[in-house]
Amino acid sequence: MTTHVSGHTGTPGATPRAGARRGAGRTRRRRGGASLGGSLLTLFTWAVGLVFVSPVLWLVLTAFKHENQAATDPPTVVFRPTLDRFTAVLDADFLPYLGNSLIATLASTLLVLLLGLPAAYALSVAPVKRTKDVLFFFISTKMLPVVAVVVPIYVAAARLSMLDNIWTLVVLYTAMNLPIAVWMLRSFFLEVPVAIVEAARVEGAGLPRVLWSVMLPVMAPGIAATALICMIFAWNEFFFAVNLTAAQAATVPVFLTGFITSEGLFVAQLSAAAVMASVPIVVVGWFAQGQLVRGLSMGAVK
């Protein structure tokens, strides 16, 4: 009896070329399914993004309308754009309010970084037994409602003759943002490789030198992210500003409330003022977006 052993295994009558064609077909089908799924996911992402951005787009469009077109029902979609509302905002002494917001935001952010960097360094590089208690104390200050402390703050400011003073807002905004900044900066310090710090110490660098020349350049994206978030919080703060200021130190959020009067709500003019109030912080965020993304990826959202 002669036994024939074939060198080919698989389905009888099949050839290697046919098997390769079937494999290629399956690969193309998988790729086609993946491509379709990716396209659907992209469309869904764009749809969600447009839903979130649509209020901002409508705000910008309303700012270019006449007042009688801004509150129509149904809304006016086709209109001739005008800059009259922006001119009216500038004529309403918008610039002093803008200046107060810039001073309060920039000065408080600078103070937050000056105070927060040494604190975060101490709590990360040289922690003590009570480090967790200190961190909890910092964040616990954010748990108290602002309305619960505005009365004693108002009384203290009045006795110190600091009502309607921009530097009162600077101090309050610094205290408001410092706990968040310490937590964020501490997480960035923990991301710095220990070997870099040890190498600098071996070379004889002291604490100021290590902090300024070694760690801060590595942490630059994280510092930028922290500064931007503090700026946004300070720029948008309304409660302290409306209760502790009047004519001299009022900020942009207080200015916006001036368009809600007994005569009605000036929607178009309020939209124009809101657009102008948003431009500075949007410009800063646009230029810092690269550093912000890198900073958040260093561990600030762990």
pLDDT for residue 7: 46
**What per-residue string of b and e applies to 237-272 under the rule 16 or more CB within 10 Å gives b?**
beebbebbbeeebbbbbbbbebbeeeeeebbbbbbb
Plot region of 46 (φ>0 → left; ψ -120 to 50 → alpha; else → beta): alpha
Whose tokens are 């431009």? That residue is 279
pLDDT for residue 174: 95
The DSSP code sequence of 42-89 is HHHHHHHHHHHHHHHHHHHHHHTS-HHHHT-SSPP-S----SHHHHHH
Which one has a higher pLDDT value, 235 or 193? 235
Cα 100 vs. chain centroid, distance in angstroms?
21
Q: Tell me which amino acid residue 146 is.
A: V
Is position 139 within any domain?
yes
Q: Are 269 and 259 in contact (CB under 8 A)?
A: yes
Quick one: what percent of the chain has pLDDT higher than 90? 31
pLDDT in tens, 181-195: 998 888 888 887 777
Tokens found for residue 231: 């700026």
pLDDT in tens, 85-130: 999 899 888 999 999 999 999 999 999 999 998 888 888 877 777 7
pLDDT in tens, 67-89: 888 878 788 888 888 898 999 89
Is position 172 within any domain?
yes
Residue 227, pLDDT > 70, answer yes
Q: Mean pLDDT across the stretch 205-226? A: 80
pLDDT for residue 241: 93
With CA atoms as reference, report the closest residue to 224 among 267, 272, 277, 181.
181
pLDDT for residue 300: 41
Residue 289, pLDDT > 50, answer yes
Based on its alpha-carbon atoms, the radius of gyration of the chain, rounded to whole angstroms, reads 30
Is position 119 within any domain?
yes
Is position 25 within any domain?
no
Which of the four pLDDT bands, split at 50, 70 and 90, describes residue 301? very low
Mean pLDDT computed over every residue of the chain = 81
Q: Are 180 and 143 in contact (CB under 8 A)?
A: no
Is position 28 within any domain?
no
Tokens found for residue 68: 């009688």
CATH number of the domain enclosing 271 = 1.10.3720.10
Is position 244 within any domain?
yes
pLDDT in tens, 15-74: 555 555 555 555 555 555 557 777 888 888 989 988 998 989 999 999 999 888 887 878
Is position 2 within any domain?
no
Task: State which residues form the domain around 162.
Answer: 90-300
Alpha-carbon separation of residue 106 from 40, 227, 240 (angstroms): 43, 9, 17
pLDDT for residue 155: 94
Overall domain count for the chain: 1
Q: What are the CB-based long-range contacts (under 8 Å, 24+) for 194-203? A: 197/125
pLDDT for residue 285: 82
